């Protein structure tokens, strides 16, 4: 997720598509993932072509279809929370987002189906954008500024909010699938997601100013949790279940310790041995 400055109860079973060492690396492109990658690539090329004709036209394109808080709120650019997902600030920004979309999204689409996958992609992506707008408005109200440019006028672009939502879903649904860091070091998907979640949270706490919308990343993951658990009520029930499971483990542990102590007390002394 880039901030453009002028030039993202689930089942824990192992799903069928979750094989292969690096997320969905061994998977072929699924239909919806393929369409999303092509659409993002087309929009990126269009942005480059506009920039070759006139920089002013490219800037206008970004500010009209990127997510600009003041334009969305006061100018009623209601399409921006959707269109910003398909804009990227450079080749590597596009490449890594699309690589992650292929790697993790193909597995999810294969198990969910194209319609459900697209619904989740848009829900987390649009939700991440709205979350970013809300946080930006709050920080602007607090008087924060970024390099002399008002926060409310800075466009946010990129699919990273949706990508973080996909990453979260992969970690929850395929928790034990190994993901290879630098293609060498395997870690379980749940740990991989936890690391990225903590990084997004800590980065978001630092406030704006880095050129990357970490708040949108965090928003994508939070919206993913909200979706997968079925809303606030589902999250509340899941938290209660986890607490009950924790209490049960604690009680079981204490009971095991008690039984071991009882067993040790019940062992009769051996009279056939000399005591030294």
Q: What is the radius of gyration, based on Cα positions, of the chain?
A: 24
Model pTM above 0.85: no
**CB contact set of 80 (below 8 Å; sequence gap of 6+):** 65, 66, 67, 68, 71, 72, 129
**CB contact set of 232 (below 8 Å; sequence gap of 6+):** 226
pLDDT, residue 263, reads 61
pLDDT, residue 144, reads 65
Shortest CA distance to 130 belongs to which of 191, 220, 195, 203? 220
In order, the DSSP letters of 125-181 are HHHHHHHHHHHHHHHHHTT--BTTB-GGG--EE-SHHHHHHHHHHHHHHSTT-EEEE
pLDDT, residue 54, reads 83
How many angstroms separate the CA atoms of 106 and 168, rounded? 14
In this structure, which CATH number among 1.20.1540.10, 1.20.1250.20, 3.40.50.10490, 1.25.40.80 belongs to the domain 2-228?
A: 1.20.1540.10
- Tens-digit pLDDT profile for the chain (276 aa)? 655 443 334 433 333 333 334 444 445 789 999 999 999 999 999 999 998 888 888 889 999 999 999 999 999 999 999 999 999 988 988 998 998 999 899 999 999 999 999 999 999 999 999 999 998 888 878 776 555 557 788 899 999 999 999 999 999 999 988 887 776 788 888 888 888 777 776 766 655 544 456 788 888 999 999 899 876 566 556 566 666 666 777 767 765 655 666 666 655 555 454 444
pLDDT, residue 262, reads 62
How many angstroms separate the CA atoms of 47 and 65, rounded? 11
pLDDT, residue 130, reads 94
pLDDT, residue 20, reads 38
Domain boundaries, the chain: 2-228, 237-266
């Amino acid at each position: 997720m880039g901030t453009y400055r002028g030039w993202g109860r689930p089942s824990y079973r192992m799903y069928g598509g979750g094989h292969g060492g690096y997320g969905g690396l061994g998977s072929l492109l699924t239909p919806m993932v393929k369409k999303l990658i092509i659409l993002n690539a087309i929009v990126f090329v269009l942005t480059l072509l506009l920039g070759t004709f006139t920089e002013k036209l490219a800037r206008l394109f970004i500010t009209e279809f990127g997510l600009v808080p003041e334009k969305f709120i006061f100018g009623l650019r209601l399409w921006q929370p959707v269109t910003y997902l398909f804009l990227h600030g450079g080749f590597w920004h596009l490449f890594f987002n699309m690589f992650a979309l292929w790697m993790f999204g193909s597995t999810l689409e294969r198990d969910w189906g194209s319609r459900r996958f697209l619904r989740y992609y848009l829900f987390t992506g649009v939700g991440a954008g709205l979350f970013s707008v809300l946080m930006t408005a709050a920080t602007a109200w607090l008087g924060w500024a970024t390099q002399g440019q008002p926060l409310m006028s800075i466009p946010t672009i990129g699919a990273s909010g949706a990508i973080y939502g996909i990453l979260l879903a992969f970690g929850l649904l395929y928790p034990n699938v190994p993901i290879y860091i630098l293609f060498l070091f395997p870690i379980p998907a749940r740990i991989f997601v936890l690391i990225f979640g903590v990084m997004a949270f800590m980065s978001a706490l630092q406030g704006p100013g880095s050129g990357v919308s970490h708040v949108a990343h965090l928003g994508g993951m939070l919206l993913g949790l909200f979706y997968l658990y079925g809303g606030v009520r589902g999250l509340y029930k899941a938290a209660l279940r986890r607490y009950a499971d924790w209490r049960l483990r604690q009680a079981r542990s204490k009971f095991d310790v008690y039984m071991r102590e009882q067993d040790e007390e019940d062992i009769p002394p051996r009279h056939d041995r000399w005591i030294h």
